[in-house]
Amino acid sequence: MSYLAGIYEVVVIGGGHAGIEAALAAARLGHRTLMITTNLDSVGNMPCNPSIGGTAKGQLVREIDALGGEMGRAADACGIQFRMLNRGKGPAVHSPRAQADRAAYKQYMKEVLEHCENLSIRQGEAAEILTQEGKVSGVLCVGGALYETRALVVCTGTFLNSRIFIGEQNILSGPDGLAAATHLTESLEKLGLRTRRFKTGTPARVDARSIDFSALEVQRGDELPRPFSFDFQGQLYNDSLCYLTYTNSHTHEIIRKSLDRSPLYGGEIQGVGPRYCPSIEDKIVRFSTKERHQVFIEPCGKNSGEMYLQGLSTSLPEDVQLAFLRTVPGLEKVEIMRPGYAIEYDCLDPTQLTAGLGVRGVPGLYAAGQICGTSGYEEAAGQGLIAGVNAARFLEGREEVVLARSDGYIGTLIDDIVTKGTNEPYRMMTSRSEYRLLLRQDNADARLMPLGHAIGLVSQQRLDKMQQDYDQAAQEIRRLEKTAVSGPALARVLEERGSAPVGQGILLSDLLRRPEISYDCLAPLDPGRPFLSEKVREQVEIQTKYQGYIQRELRQVEEHKKLEEKRLPEDLDYLSMSTLRLEARQKLDALRPRSLGQASRISGVSPSDMAALMILLGQRGK
C-alpha cells in the first residue's frame, strides 16, 4: 500500500559517488532534497579499488573540487597515501592519486550528508519513477513510500538487476554483498528509455597477516604530498604503504587451465566489459606472450586488515583464485577474505541524455554515474555534480549548465558519452582530451571556480582567494618578461644547468622557457623577485614554459567555439531535411545535439551533412 512519505524538490536515487555529489549540489543550491539509498551504511562505498584519483581521474577530482563538490575534500580527509602520478612526464599528465581508507570515507560522506542543510537521506529501494503529462512527478519505493518531486536524479551505479559471477556460481546481488535493485529498470524502460547490460569486475581482498611483505617491493607516498582540495589546510596522512609483486608462469598456467570454468569464457556473462580494465584471465589470453603481470597490494584502510590486489581482477572460481594467488611471491600463504568477482548490471544508453545529463523527453529526469555507461568513482562524481546542479536549475526554470570539452575533463567525458555513446564502461583518460595542456590538474581552480561561483556552489571568498593566486602569478610572469639578466652569475647558473650560454643580456622569461631551467634555480640572478607561494611559483613556471603550446590550444578552442556556440533549436525537424543523408538525419533526430559543434562530432554526420545543415539553418534564420 503506497503512502505519501514526503514532498521534495529534488530526489536523488543512489548514495554512491554520483548520488552524493548530486544530492549535495541540489541541497546546497537551496532545494529541499532527498537521497534514497538501499543501504545507509554504504553511502560513498568503494566496492573496487580503495583509492581516489589517478591519471585523468585526478584531474576530475580537482575539477569537482573547483566547482564546489565534495570528493576532493573527502579524499584529503580520508587519504592514507598520496602520490602525484607521472611526475617528470610534463604538467599535462600530472595526476594526483590517494589511497583512501574505505571505512573512513563512508563515515565522512555520511556525516557530510547528515549535516547538509535541506538534505534528507532515507534507506529504501526506488521502484518506480512517476510522471504526470510526461514530466517527473514523484518516485515510489518498494515499501510503499511515495515521494513527490519534480526533479529526479538517477544514480544507481551497478545495482540495477546486478548479477555477480564467481566461477560457476552466479547470484542476483549488488557489489560487496549489497542487495541488487530489481525494479527500476522496468520503470526506466516504461518511460521509453533503452537500457543495456555492462560488466565490470574486481579482484580478491586478502588478509594482510597472510602476506609475506618481506619479499615485496615497497611503494611509499610522495615526500611532499599535495591535497586534492583548494580548501585543504594542515597535514595529510601519508604513512600507509603499498607493495609490488608479479605474477609468473605458474600463475598463468593455473589460470589458463581453468578458463573453462570462467563465466567470461563460458559465455554466462552477456554484458560488455571494459577493455581498459581486463581481468587477469583476459590479460593472459590477450597478451599470451607476456611473462608476468604487475600486482599492487594496497591497504583498504589505515587500520584495515584487508588488502586489495590491483591487477588481479577475476571472476574465476574461488578455488582457482586461491590457487593462482598462492603462486605469486609474497602471497604463498595468502588467505582470501573476499573473493574477486565480475558484476553485470543494467545501464542506459547515454546518447539518450542531453549535454547537461537530462533525459531527453522526460522533463525533470536526470542520470549520472555508472548508469550512464561510465566506470569509476571520479567519473561518477563529476557527472553527479552536474546532474544535481541541472536538476536544481530545472526547478528554477534556468538553462542547464553544460561544460565544454575545453572547460575540463568533466565536459569532455559528458560530451563523449552523450554524443558518441559508448560500447563499454567509459573510463576517463588523458588521451581522450584534445586540450590536455589547458586542462591540467594544477589550474583546475582557475578554470572552473568562476563557474562554480556562478552556479552558486563556490563562495565569493573562496573565489577571491583563488583569484589572488592567479593574479600574483600573472603579475610575476609580466615581471619576468621585462627583467633582463646578464653577467657572470648568469653564466654560472647556465653552466650548472648545462644550458647554452648567452652572449648578452636575456629576459628571465626567455631563460625560464628553456626546459632545463626552473623558476627556483633563477633565484640567485633575480634578487628583486617577490615572495610567492609554491602554488603561484608553479603557475609562473608552467605558464611561461609551455606558453607556446598553451596559446596554440587556446587558439584551437577559439576556433571551435564558434561552432560550439551556434545553438541548434530543439524543435528542428531533421527527418525532413532531404539534403542530408538519411543516416545523418536519423542520428541528428535521435541525439538532438545542442550545438553545431556537438552535431559535428556525431559519428555518421559527415562534413557535407554539416554544410547542408548550416545552409538550412541559415535560411531558417531569415
Partner 1 sequence: MMEDTIAAYSGGTLPGAIGICRISGPQAFALADDLFFPQKGGKMSQGPFYTMRYGQVWAADGRALDLCLACCYPGPSSYTGEDLLEIFCHGSQAVVACILERAMELGARPAQAGEFTKRAFLAGKLDLTGVEAVADLIESQSAAAAKNAASLLQGGISRPIRQMREKIFQQLTHFYAVCDYPDEDLDPFVSEEARKVLEECTAELDKLYQGFQRGRVLKEGLPVTILGRPNVGKSSLLNSLAGYERAIVTDEAGTTRDVVTESVRCGDTVLRLSDTAGLRETSSQAEKMGIDKARESARESRLVLCVFDGSAPLTEEDKQVMETAQGLERAAILNKWDKGALDFPEVEQAFSKVFRLSAKTGEGVSELCQWLAGLSQGEGETLVTSARQAALLGKAAESCRMAAESAAMGFTADAFLADGEEAVRLLDEVLGDAVSEDIVHGIFSRFCVGK
92 binds partner 1 (CB under 8 A): yes
Q: Please name which of 154, 127, 149 lies closest in space to residue 138, comparing C-alpha atoms.
A: 149
Q: How far is the CB of 437 from partner 1 (least distance, A)?
A: 7
530, 473 Cβ separation under 8 angstroms = no
Here the cell at position 224 is 611532499
CA distance 557 to 580: 27
Here the cell at position 291 is 611473462
The letter for the amino acid at 410 is I
Residue from 66, 74, 85, 347 touching partner 1 (CB under 8 A): that is 85
Q: How far is the CB of 397 from partner 1 (least distance, A)?
A: 29
Here the cell at position 205 is 581482498
Question: Collapsing DSSP states into helix, strand and coil, what is residue 332?
Answer: coil
220 binds partner 1 (CB under 8 A): no
CA atoms within 13 Å, Cβ hemisphere of 208: 14
Residue from 30, 39, 40, 90 touching partner 1 (CB under 8 A): that is 90
282 binds partner 1 (CB under 8 A): yes
Q: How far is the CB of 376 from partner 1 (least distance, A)?
A: 10
579 binds partner 1 (CB under 8 A): yes
611 binds partner 1 (CB under 8 A): yes
Torsion of CA 122, 125, 127, 132, to 10 degrees: 10
163 to 62, 128, 182, 195, 532: CA distances (angstroms): 33, 20, 10, 16, 54
Question: Collapsing DSSP states into helix, strand and coil, what is residue 520?
Answer: helix
59, 433 Cβ separation under 8 angstroms = no
Q: Are strands 51-53 and 95-100 parallel, antiparallel or unpaired?
A: antiparallel
- Residue 97 or 110 with smaller CB distance to partner 1: 97
290 binds partner 1 (CB under 8 A): yes
173, 163 Cβ separation under 8 angstroms = yes
CA distance 408 to 57: 12
606 binds partner 1 (CB under 8 A): yes
Q: Please name which of 399, 424, 430 lies closest in space to residue 412, comparing C-alpha atoms.
A: 430
Q: How far is the CB of 535 from partner 1 (least distance, A)?
A: 20
Residue from 549, 572, 589, 601 touching partner 1 (CB under 8 A): that is 549
* Length of the chain as a residue count: 622
539 binds partner 1 (CB under 8 A): no
Q: How far is the CB of 398 from partner 1 (least distance, A)?
A: 27
437 binds partner 1 (CB under 8 A): yes
- Residue 69 or 203 with smaller CB distance to partner 1: 203
How buried is 364 (Cβ within 10 angstroms: 0-12 exposed, 13-18 middle, 19+ buried)?
buried
Q: How far is the CB of 610 from partner 1 (least distance, A)?
A: 6
514 binds partner 1 (CB under 8 A): yes
State the CB neighbour count (10 A cutoff) for residue 571.
6
* Residue whose grid cell is 588481479: 312
Stretch that binds partner 1, among 168-176, 316-324, 326-334, 601-609 (CB under 8 A): 601-609
- Residue 85 or 152 with smaller CB distance to partner 1: 85
209 binds partner 1 (CB under 8 A): no
Per the rule left: phi > 0, alpha: psi between -120 and 50, beta: everything else, 118 is: left
Site for partner 1 (CB under 8 A): how many residues? 68
Q: How far is the CB of 296 from partner 1 (least distance, A)?
A: 6
- Residue 85 or 353 with smaller CB distance to partner 1: 85
Residues 396-435 that bind partner 1 (CB under 8 A): 429-432
Q: Please name which of 512, 436, 448 lies closest in space to residue 86, comparing C-alpha atoms.
A: 436
- Residue 39 or 547 with smaller CB distance to partner 1: 547
Q: How far is the CB of 536 from partner 1 (least distance, A)?
A: 21
48 binds partner 1 (CB under 8 A): yes
CA distance 322 to 318: 6
- Residue 330 or 358 with smaller CB distance to partner 1: 330
Residue from 6, 30, 311, 329 touching partner 1 (CB under 8 A): that is 311
Residue from 296, 324, 341, 345 touching partner 1 (CB under 8 A): that is 296
Residue from 44, 91, 175, 330 touching partner 1 (CB under 8 A): that is 91
- Residue 110 or 440 with smaller CB distance to partner 1: 440
Annotate 516-534 with b (16+ C-beta within 10 A) or e (fewer).
Answer: ebebebbeebeeebeebee
516 binds partner 1 (CB under 8 A): yes
Alpha-carbon Rg for the chain, nearest whole angstrom, is: 26
Residue from 33, 38, 45, 55 touching partner 1 (CB under 8 A): that is 55
Residue from 484, 506, 563, 572 touching partner 1 (CB under 8 A): that is 563
- Residue 139 or 437 with smaller CB distance to partner 1: 437
Q: Please name which of 529, 388, 399 lies closest in space to residue 13, comparing C-alpha atoms.
A: 388
608 binds partner 1 (CB under 8 A): yes
User: Phi/psi at 581 (nearest 5 deg)?
Assistant: -65, 155
Reported as type and span, the H/E element at residue 367 is: strand 365-367
- Residue 194 or 250 with smaller CB distance to partner 1: 250
- Residue 246 or 470 with smaller CB distance to partner 1: 246
List of residues contacting partner 1 (CB under 8 A): 48-49, 54-56, 85-86, 88-93, 95, 203, 246, 275-280, 282-283, 286-287, 290, 292-294, 296, 310-311, 313, 429-432, 436-437, 514-516, 546, 549, 552-553, 555, 558-559, 562-563, 566, 579, 606-608, 610-612, 614-619, 621-622
